[in-house]
Chain A
Amino acid sequence: MKKGMSFYFQLAFTLLVCAFLIVPIFMSITAGLTNNYFVGVKSGLTLRWVYQVWGLYSDTIWLTINIALVTTLVNLCVGVPCAYYLARTRSKLSAFLDECLTLPIAIPGMAIALGLISVYGGISEFRMSWLFILVGHVIFTLPFMVKSVLAVLQSINFRVLEEGAASLGASFWQRFFHIIVPNCKTGIVSGVLMTLTLSAGEFNLTWMLHTPLTKTLPVGLADSYASMRLEVSSAYTLIFLGMILPLLMAAQWLNRKPKRTA
């Protein structure tokens, strides 16, 4: 097939956009690995900055992983039943819940954080612990989990499947764990990946909620941008990318997969 002018124009445009997005990331990565960024790569490559970041900020990394995992766990336990309930019932209550779940997507993270602080901020034990951030993250990410499972549930005829299982003698819980959960696996996995990614990268809300002892990676990152030399914060970014990119790639891969089999 002969490719016309417009094809090459589009290709050039796409490459340009990619470059626009990727070049800064690439620059940042090199910055984190060079001895002296102002001298350039010829000053030599090093892992020194990475080690230094690890020494300074490893607790933020562990806390981020911890919060992301627990958020995911909470989302699994709450989000999947919630999506199932929403898909199953069509009542005023379920419509209201559906609306409530959309809200955190629309409201800025700052506002959610402010709400949390003004209501629960007085309970200092809670305010000081990482659980406070966890609550914020659950509120922020739960809608994504629910919507992603809900989308799958609405695309399969799960009621008939359930009726089929019931006719064979399966109790409610057997139906839920044998039929519903396995058949929304794609929704659950993509919800999990989304939760992990969103929680690990969340800044707005976390920045408002954090205390000096409960800093997550993105908050620490902002901190280092403000107070450290460029190479250190770049190395920090590098670690962050190393954590988040595999998750993003897994999510992308998962989104493509169903289309191939369908």
Chain B
Amino acid sequence: MNNASTSVAITLKQVQKTFSDGTLALKPLDLHIEKGEILVLLGPSGCGKTTTLRLIAGLEFCDQGGQILFGDRDVTSIAIEQRRVGMVFQSYALFPNMNVSENIAYGLRVRGESKALKEKKVQEMLTLFDLEPYAERGIDQLSGGQRQRVALARAIITEPEVLLLDEPLSALDALLKKRLRTDINALLKRLGITAVYVTHDQEEAMAMGDRIAVLDRGDIAQIGTAEDIYLSPKSEFVANFIGQMNHFDGLLHGQALSFKSNFMALPEALYSTHKEGERLRCMTRPEDMRLIAFEDATLKGAVFHSVFLGDRTRVLVSVEGVTELLHVDCFERKRYSRGDRVGLLVPPLRVVLLPTKETEDMPC
């Protein structure tokens, strides 16, 4: 089975949502999702992920002036049952009064499909999702992972134009999560279905999506591929949300960022776009920094603490002129103890610079 023929692009134009109690859950939003693309909506709790998804589904309607298109079809004021969406809910929403097969077949049943077609397609789904032994079971006799698969099978059996998934894995344990997300990703790609996937787990987001939209208080903070977002976050919010970041402030001096006696060379692209003497916020990822010999470094410090994590050693280094302890990941299986004098190497291309909020006075 293949959805590539039925799936469509999704376009949101100036879609805003104010709830009846006055809550502005979504600021005017423009979003285009390609046909067959998987877009992940990522963000902290309450940022409007579910609201966005429900607007696309037709379970909520956007404020006056917004527009939602499926391909060329304007679905802005069309109810969910006419939108031809498939939906997987966080709680699965499986029907307790029906067994597994009946749940999966429900979308065909309400369309009045023939018994033969229903049986054939349900069988296809049962095979696809490894659910054959459970066909006759009630849904309260299934494990979480099995329920999840039934929910997915039920949603795609009608070959919807778009598939919407709201934290479909959040009720499962970590190991199963990892396995299922790979499975789901492979399946969605194979079906070629346009999908919007909501999660608050950044690892899941990176594993699932072609593109990730990071939402912050009802606004898209950044949208792009996992690489874009990981390597060049546009704001501290995004940087903090995906992976771990060291944040520290320095002054721009010539071609380097200086911290009292220490300095860090910057690539031209970075220093040329800022003013001399400007106070900048520097962000680097722990795994991008390296520990080198004290003498060879321009950025020097002392080990404050180190933790062995198996695949790497996390070393916390205190550097003169930098208030925060810097987290450095060391993959060489070297031991560090407190007080060891070390040098830090930061590959210039792995540095993200943002203007700080208080640019004025700095006491150095």
Contact = CB atoms under 8 A, between A and B. Distances in A.
B95 interface: yes
B138 to A, nearest CB: 10
A167 interface: yes
Given A163-B59, A163-B80, A168 B93 contact: no
A161 interface: yes
Contacts of A157: 91, 93
B97 interface: yes
B110 A167 contact: no
B332 interface: no
A166 interface: yes
Interface string A130-171: 000000000000000000000000001100110111111111
Interface stretch (B81-89, B122-130, B177-185, B354-362): B81-89
Contacts of A179: 95, 97
A167 B96 contact: no
A179 B81 CA distance: 15
B91 A160 contact: yes
Nearest to B140: A261
A166 B81 contact: yes
Given A168-B158, A169-B81, A171-B81, A161 B106 contact: no
- Interface band, chain B: 20 to 34
B106 to A, nearest CB: 5
Contacts of B91: 157, 160
B333 interface: no
Interface in B151-171: 154-155, 158, 164
B196 interface: no
Contact of A169 (B57, B89, B94, B107): B107
Interface residues of A, number: 19
A185 B97 CA distance: 9
A169 B59 contact: no
Contacts of B80: 163, 166-167
B110 A183 contact: no
A165 B97 contact: no
B89 A168 contact: no
Given A166-B81, A167-B87, A169-B81, A161 B93 contact: yes
B84 to A, nearest CB: 8
Given A163-B89, A164-B89, A170 B96 contact: no
A182 interface: yes
A167 B86 contact: yes
Interface in B95-140: 95-97, 106-107, 109-111
A160 B89 contact: yes
B127 to A, nearest CB: 20
A163 B93 contact: yes
A169 B158 contact: yes
B89 A165 contact: no
A170 B82 CA distance: 9
Contacts of B111: 169
Interface in B183-229: none
A224 B301 CA distance: 104
Contacts of A171: 81, 110
A129 interface: no
Interface in B43-86: 57, 59, 79-82, 84-86
A88 B306 CA distance: 56
Nearest to B57: A167
A52 B155 CA distance: 65
Nearest to A174: B110
Contacts of B107: 168-169
Contact of B154 (A156, A168, A182, A183): A168
Contact of B96 (A156, A166, A174): A156
A170 B95 CA distance: 13
Nearest to A182: B97
A176 B82 CA distance: 17
A167 B155 contact: yes
Contacts of B81: 166-171
Nearest to A184: B97
Nearest to A156: B96
Nearest to A185: B97
Interface of B: 57, 59, 79-82, 84-87, 89, 91, 93-97, 106-107, 109-111, 154-155, 158, 164
24 contacts: A160-B91, A160-B93, A163-B89, A164-B87, A164-B89, A165-B95, A167-B80, A167-B81, A167-B86, A167-B87, A168-B107, A168-B154, A168-B158, A169-B82, A169-B107, A169-B110, A170-B81, A170-B110, A174-B110, A178-B95, A178-B106, A183-B95, A183-B96, A183-B97
8 nearest CB pairs, A to B: A164-B93, A168-B107, A167-B87, A182-B97, A170-B110, A160-B93, A166-B80, A166-B81
